[in-house]
Amino acid sequence: MSEVRIPSQSAQTTKLLLESKRPEISEIELTLFENCNIVCDFCFHDKKSQVGLSKEEMFSKIPIMDEFLSRQQNRVKIAQINVVGGELFQDRWMERLNQDYYELLIETKKSFDKYNLKMKVVFVSNFLFKKKESVKELIDKLRDYGIDTHLIVSYDFEGRPLSKSYWDNVTYFGPEYICSVNLVGTSGSIKKFIENKDNNFKYFYKNFNIFFDDFIPDNGSDDLIPSDREFSQWYKYIADNFPLIQPVADLINNQNNSMHCLSLNKVTIFPDNKTSNCRWHRYKQTDFNTKLNLKDNSGMMQNFIDEMGCLQCEYFSRCGFRCFTQWDWKNRKRDMEICPMKSFFNHIEGKQD
């Protein structure tokens, strides 16, 4: 049995060291339910689960959000709710759930007002729904109530079916409603991306903001995790060919960046009301090298900083780091001696590793 790594510093010390890197926005990852109408390679949700679908279950999350927001006042000015499923906008129960979403968020706004925080909301969707007018009505009503509300479109390089409805919705909502098109950086999607043969992606890049999310591993997903070398090649390819893609664009253009991970300012609320600042509660110690703490990510952060030599790195202020959960995953392929992020910065600065 391999040895579990214990962080060299206390959680509080780690957070103090990273204070300058803490994002200036807080985030609530509001996972209402896992039920979904499609299967994606990178998603391990229970597609048939009914947990969280009732209005009562949704509203039971309000006190959890209120408690989190109470701790964010005087730390940030903006807090964003990422409303996710499963798939939120399924035609079979669109009208009922959209009304529930509206009432849930209107009620939640009282907490934002109480703690003097600006409220932002994004709905994450696979965009395969047909009742687009109902989705637009929901967003317009929330905006009329003073809530900054947008959509995030999910796109998959590895073959998720794209129906006529998908493209109708993309055209119908456009940049006014779609704040970004999000992709997930699995090993396979990175390879497809670097082949540069996807005309759909080129359309998105020309017309929308693009965000490439790190893949957050789950049990049985080892083959989806990019190796260090793949990760480094991925970022370098973005810089050379698609430099407007976030979060890489900020790394190219800014000398000071917050870290990409929001876990210092974040709570994830699961359908059954369990919470974490990052990881799924089904994770086990055997998945990770660092001692697992579902409530606090600072142990993995500290071990990342120690191993990568971040505090001594010339790019510390500029770097956004990596997904700490992915980095610490025990069965990830580690095939570079140099930090992949440092190699990326050397590349854009024209330096040798």
pLDDT in tens, 5-35: 666 666 677 778 788 899 999 999 999 998 7
Q: Which amino acid is at 24?
A: E
Task: Tell me what the mean pLDDT of segment 343-353 comes to.
Answer: 97
Q: Is the peptide bond before 185 cis (omega within 30 degrees of 0)?
A: no
Average pLDDT of the chain is 91
Query: Percentage of the chain with pLDDT > 70?
Result: 92
Does residue 246 sit in helix, strand or coil?
A: strand
Nearest to 67 by CA among 22, 16, 28, 122: 28
pLDDT in tens, 46-91: 556 677 789 999 999 999 999 999 999 999 999 999 999 889 999 9
Is 305 a residue whose pLDDT tops 80?
A: yes
- At residue 143 the predicted structure's pLDDT band, cuts being 50, 70 and 90, is very high
Is 41 a residue whose pLDDT tops 70?
A: no
Predicted confidence at residue 216, as pLDDT, reads 86
Structure tokens at 61: 């999350």
User: From the CB of residue 303, how many other CB atoms can be counted at a distance below 10 Å?
Assistant: 23
Least confidently predicted of 52-61, 212-221, 328-337 = 212-221
Least confidently predicted of 10-14, 131-135, 139-143, 149-153 = 10-14
- At residue 45 the predicted structure's pLDDT band, cuts being 50, 70 and 90, is low
Structure tokens at 231: 């990760």
* pTM confidence score: 0.91
More confident residue, 241 or 1: 241
Predicted confidence at residue 343, as pLDDT, reads 98
Predicted confidence at residue 44, as pLDDT, reads 59
Length of the chain counted residue by residue: 353
Predicted confidence at residue 156, as pLDDT, reads 87
Does residue 82 sit in helix, strand or coil?
A: strand
148, 142 Cβ separation under 8 angstroms: no
Torsion of CA 300, 302, 303, 304, to 10 degrees: 80
Q: Pairing between strand 266-269 and 275-276? A: antiparallel
Task: Tell me what the mean pLDDT of segment 177-198 comes to.
Answer: 95
Predicted confidence at residue 115, as pLDDT, reads 98
- At residue 1 the predicted structure's pLDDT band, cuts being 50, 70 and 90, is very low
Predicted confidence at residue 36, as pLDDT, reads 76
CA 311 vs CA 5, 36, 45, 257, 331: distances in Å:
19, 42, 37, 15, 26
pLDDT in tens, 289-300: 998 888 788 888
User: From the CB of residue 124, how many other CB atoms can be counted at a distance below 10 Å?
Assistant: 21
Structure tokens at 118: 């600006």
Domains of the chain with bracketed CATH: 11-348 (3.20.20.70)
Predicted confidence at residue 315, as pLDDT, reads 98
Structure tokens at 348: 């854009």
Predicted confidence at residue 3, as pLDDT, reads 60
- At residue 217 the predicted structure's pLDDT band, cuts being 50, 70 and 90, is confident
Top-ranked range on mean pLDDT: pick from 31-45, 182-196, 288-302: 182-196
